[in-house]
Amino acid sequence: MISRSRPGNPVTGSGDLRYNETESLEDTMQSHAWSGPAFAPLEPGDPPLIGGYRVLARLGTGAPGRAYLATTQSGRRLAITIVASGPAGAPGFRRRFGELIAAAQRIQSPRIAPVVDAHADGPRPWAATAHVPGPSLAEAVARLGPMPDATVRALLAGTAGALHAAHTGGVVHNGLKPSTVLLAEDGPRVTGFGLPRDGDADGDGDPAVDVFALGAVVLYAATGRTVREDPDLEGCPEDLRDLIGRCLAEDPADRPRPREILDELGADDAVPAQGWLPPDVIRRLPAYSAAPPGPVPPPLPAPPAAPRARLAPPTPEDGPPTLPAGAHARTAVRPVPYPPPPGPAPAGPNPPVGPPATGISPALLLGLGAGACVVGILLIVAVLLFAAG
C-alpha cells in the first residue's frame, strides 16, 4: 500500500501529490470550447520590468511565486518567476537558491526549459526560463480529459529523459507535477528546475522522489486521477502499467531510475513521433505564441459628489418648507449690530452723513412744518372774517 502523500513523507517526497489539481476529472472538465487568450493581462501593481526584461502578461501563481511572460530586447520570450516573499525570507533560502540556479544552468536536455537568467540577492529573488509555447499537462487534462496512449507514452519518455539529465547533473526537481510539464509541439518540457522547495532547503533531495512524482504525473495524464492510497492503474496503457506501478512503489529502492525507464521504453530524448499531441491541443498551441492582451486599465476616479439640494424659500401659499428625511431644521439667527461706543464722534473734514442728532427723521420734520402752515392760514382767515362781521 502506498501511504497518502504529505509534505516531508520519506516515501513520496515533499509536496502533496494532489498537486492542488483535480479530485475527480468530472469535477474539473469544462464543457465549453478551449478558446480565448493563453495569458492573463497585467494588472495595476505588476512590475513593468524584471531584471531589465520587459513584462508582457501574467502566466499564473504557483507554490514558488508569481510567474510572468517577459521578453528580451531581441524579442525572445521568457517565463519569469518572482519568488514569494514568504519562502524568500527563510533562513538560507538565497544561498540555496543561488546554488540551485547555478546547477540548473548546467543541465543540457531538450526536454527541460533552460534557465536563462536569475537573481538571488535582490528584494524579490527571481528566475527566468525560456518560454515554452504550450499549455501545461494540468490544464490540458482539466480541459480535455485523459490523454491518448501515444501522448502518455511520449510524456513518460520525455519526462524521464529530463529527470535523467537533471539527476546526472546532481539536480533533483523535488516539485514535479502536472503543472510543471508543458506540452510543446516538438515534445514535452519540464520546467521549475532551480527553484527551492520546502523539502530541499538544506539538502540535495532524493532522486527517488522525482521518480514517484513521474509515475503520478503519467497516471494523471492517462486517467485524470491523482495518487491517494493504492494507485488505481485502470485506464493506463496496458503495456505501461507495470512500469508506472514500479515508479509508484512504496519502497524507494524498488523504483526504477530514469535511465532504466528510457532503456525499457527503448526511447531517448529524440523528438517524439509527429502527432504525439491530440488534435484539440494542437489547435490550442497558436494561442501561446500570440500577442498577449493589453494591461488592465487602472480604475477610474470616483465621480464628484452631486451638489446638495438647497431648499427654496417658502411662499405664503406653500407654508413652511418640507425638509428631507433625516435632516434637522436649523433656526436662522439674524446678526444684531453692536451699539456705537459712547462719546462724541471724532472730528474730521468729512463728518459722517446720517440722521439729525435729535433722532427725528427729516420726513417727520417736513410734515410738522406743513401742518403749522395750514393752521396759520386758518387762523388768518378766521381773523379776517371776524373783522368783516
Please give the Cα distance from 96 to 195 (Å, whole number): 9
352 residue type, one letter? P
Give 249's DSSP letter. -
Instruction: Let me know if residue 107 belongs to a domain.
Output: yes
Q: Which residue has the cell 490540458?
A: 140
Please give the Cα distance from 276 to 68 (Å, whole number): 28
Q: Which residue has the cell 527503448?
A: 266
Least confident of 29-43, 268-282, 287-301, 308-322: 308-322
Please give the Cα distance from 176 to 62 (Å, whole number): 12
Instruction: Let me know if residue 9 belongs to a domain.
Output: no
* 8 A C-beta contact, residue 234 and residue 248: no
Instruction: Let me know if residue 110 belongs to a domain.
Output: yes
Give the Cα-Cα-Cα angle 99, 105, 106 (nearest 5 degrees): 95
- Please state whether the predicted TM-score (pTM) of the whole model is above 0.75: no
Question: Which three-class secondary structure state does DSSP give residue 136?
Answer: strand
Indicate if the pLDDT at residue 316 is higher than 60.
Answer: no
Indicate if the pLDDT at residue 20 is higher than 70.
Answer: no
Give 112's DSSP letter. B
Domain that holds residue 184: 25-288
Nearest by Cα to 192 from 260, 115, 245, 259:
115
Instruction: Let me know if residue 98 belongs to a domain.
Output: yes
Nearest by Cα to 14 from 232, 191, 208:
208
Neighbours of 165 (CB within 10 A): 21
* 8 A C-beta contact, residue 115 and residue 104: yes
Residues facing 27 on adjacent strands: none
Here the CATH number for the domain that contains residue 106 is: 1.10.510.10
Q: Most confidently modeled of 15-24, 84-93, 218-227?
A: 218-227
Instruction: Let me know if residue 368 belongs to a domain.
Output: no
- Write down the pLDDT at residue 119: 93
> What mean pLDDT is reported for the chain?
80
- Write down the pLDDT at residue 145: 96
> What cell does 155 get?
510524456
Instruction: Let me know if residue 100 belongs to a domain.
Output: yes
- The count of structural domains within the chain is 1
For range 256-276, the mean pLDDT: 88
How many helices and strands (H and E) does the chain possess? 10, 8
Instruction: Let me know if residue 17 belongs to a domain.
Output: no
Instruction: Let me know if residue 245 belongs to a domain.
Output: yes
